[in-house]
Every structure is written in C-alpha cells, then in structure tokens.
Amino acid sequence: MSCTLNKHIVIVTSEFPPLPGGIGNHAYHLALQLSKNHYIVKVITDQRSESYEEELRFDKNLPFSVTRIRLKKWRFIMYFKRLIKTFKLIKHYDFVIATGKFSLWNVAFCNFFLKRPSLAVIHGSEVNLKSRLLRTTTNMSLKRFTNIVAVSHYTRSLVLDLGKPIKVIPNGINYEAWTFDGFESMTLAGSPVLTTVGRVSTRKGQLEVIKLLPKLIADFPEIHYHCIGIPTEAEYFKAIARSLSVESHVTFHGAVSEHYLKAVLLATDVFIMMSTESQTGDVEGFGIAILEANAMGVPAIGSRGCGIEDTINDGVTGFLVEPGHYTALRDSLRTILNERDNLSSNARKWAYDHRWESVIQDYIKFLSQNDED
C-alpha cells in the first residue's frame, strides 16, 4: 500500500511485553502489524521489571524500535522523563498513538503544544475511573486527540458524553499461535471442565463462578473449575470456596507457561469469564482470552454488561449471561455440552475473523484518512 511507505508512527503505551498485560499485548501487536505494513514504528514505554535484561533481550529481536523509561524509585521522575521523551519524539513523527491511562494524559499534554495527528485507543478501566478528578482529566485528554478507537461497544458507551466520533475496533489475536496443531491435551480433574484464564481478581469473575458452584455441583456432580493466572486474590477466593464446601471442585494453577495453558485449554469443555466491575471501576473492556480459547475450539460463557458482549457471538460461539443468574448459566452450559461440535467449529471461525492481520486494516484506514486530510 503506497500511502503507508515511510510513514513514521510513535506508539506511547503504559505497558509492553515481555511482562503480561492486555494493554501491552495490544500495543505490541499493533506495532508489529503496522511494521509489517511498511510503517516505521517507534514505541515509548516503561521498564517494568526489576531486572532490565529480559526486556532488553525482548526488544532486541523486534522489527521496530522500543525506548523504555528506566525504572526509578521515585515514580514521578519516570513520568517526567516519559513526558520529555514523548515531546521530543513526536515532533519528528507523522502520527502518534496513545494507549493506557498515563499515555493518554502524556500525549494529550504534548498535543496541547504540538498538535500532532493522533489516535487514542481506549480499553475500559481507564475511562471508568471513580475519581471525578481523574475521570475529568481523562475526558479532557481524549478531546485533544484527532481520533478515538474503543476496543468494544461497551468501552465506547463509557465515553459517549465526549461528543466526539468514536470508532470501535475489536482486539485482535495472533491466531496461528493458538491453533492446537502439535499440542497435546493434559488430563484435568472434572467433567465438565470449566476454565478461566486471567489474573485471579474481581474483574475476571472467578469468585462469581465459585459462588454458583454449590448449585452447579447439584446439576453436574463431577464438574471442576480450573483457574489459570496470577493469583492476586486467590487466597480470599479459596476461603470462600471452603466456606461453601466446594474447594474440592476448584483448582488454582497460578501463572503458567504458554505450553501448559494450551494443554489446559485443549482439555477444557467450556471457557468461562463471569466478569464484574471492581469497586475502583476496573472493568473487562474486551476479554481477549476468550478469543484465544475460541481459536483452540473452546466455546465460552461470559458476562453481559461489559466488553465480553463483543467477544462472544451469543448463541453461536457461546452464550452471554447476567452475572449471578444461575438458571441462564446452567442452561447455557447444558446447551454447549450437547452441541459442542457445532459451537466449537463456530468458535474457531470467529477467532479467525479476529486475527490481527484483519484487524490492523481498520487502523490503517485511520492513518490513510489522515494522509488525505
């Protein structure tokens, strides 16, 4: 595509691999795909690990440049350095993309002086802040961007009062990485096997499933719930499971390798993510783990009232239910178990439609439109 040749893009992101995080994963694939489409990409992000070596090794093998603001004891020093670095760089680039709360503020401040063509990518929690001051700061920042992309219709609904056009572009997945060829399933406790992948937290909804396990066990006596992810609130959730006498039906695997995760998913009957909003406004803006499970042929059940509504094609790749609504959950689970082959096939096709090679074209349209303006 000739209009993209030598186009220089800066991506300012609050997080970036190799450490985990949805915003970082999105920023990485956005940078990678733009690079593959002949853009010259520069990423500005923070050092996140105490040891810098892992990040340096990761950055060295990328087809684009990454500048990391070194970790400091006093965080405000990092914020100031990031601001200065961003200001200096975007003066020499054609377009700037910001993703993550602090990055939105950072680029908006720079744009007050530089007025560069820009795109804000919003995920969910950063536009659902409970602090009025922080919410106002974020909204004022968003108004300084040329374009805004929300990763789901739910996220878009959180900022409709801005009075700016907001395009919805769903998250993409690295589809080839999640196809199951060459991977072997592991033997997991339970039948049916339910699995959630994600940090063990209120937002990811593991506790909502645990609370419904007494009823689920009555209808599915051998059912077992497997939780994969950083065990942030695992001890509290285990205590709740013990108080409900369902601890023998729950396994917390902790953070695992990608190989282990794929083996678990191959043994999973239904992926489940009953996400809820935390007291601080942390919400599920999309639910990329659902699509990754879909790519391996696993249908899903997820919550209404969050970004998962865009991730599950209701009745086709799984089902959407209200959190805490047991009858809907039970009926959805039964339907999936009875029609799993069809739903599994649909899930793979749905995941394929969300591969990054397809999603990136919508971002390129934004950049091409800017060329024409």
More confident call, 80 vs 305 = 305
Q: Which two tokens stand for residue 86?
A: 């961003």
Angle between helices 22-36 and 356-372 (to 10 degrees): 70
Q: Where are the domains of the chain?
A: 2-172+355-372, 176-353
| Common-topology check for domains 2-172+355-372 and 176-353 | yes
Q: What's the rounded Cα separation, in Å, for the pair 291 and 276?
A: 19
Structure tokens at 149: 């992309």
Query: What pTM did the predictor assign?
Result: 0.91
CATH architecture assignment, domain 2-172+355-372: 3-Layer(aba) Sandwich (3.40)
In three-state form (DSSP H/G/I as H, E/B as E, the rest C), the secondary structure along 195-225 is EEECCCCCCCCHHHHHHHHHHHHHHCCCCEE
Q: Which residues are within 8 A (CB) of 259 and not within 5 positions of it... i.e. 6 or more apart?
A: 183
Confidence of residue 149 (pLDDT cuts 50, 70, 90): very high
176-353 domain in CATH 3.20.20.80? no
DSSP 234: H
* CB 272, CB 301: distance < 8 Å: yes
Binning pLDDT at 50, 70 and 90, where does residue 322 land? very high
Cβ neighbours, 10 Å, residue 111? 21
Q: Could you tell me if 87 and 110 are in contact, meaning their C-beta atoms sit under 8 angstroms apart?
A: yes
Q: Are strands 65-69 and 147-150 parallel, antiparallel or unpaired?
A: unpaired
pLDDT band at 305 (very low <50, low <70, confident <90, very high): very high
**Token pair belonging to 324:** 């805490």
More confident residue, 130 or 366: 130
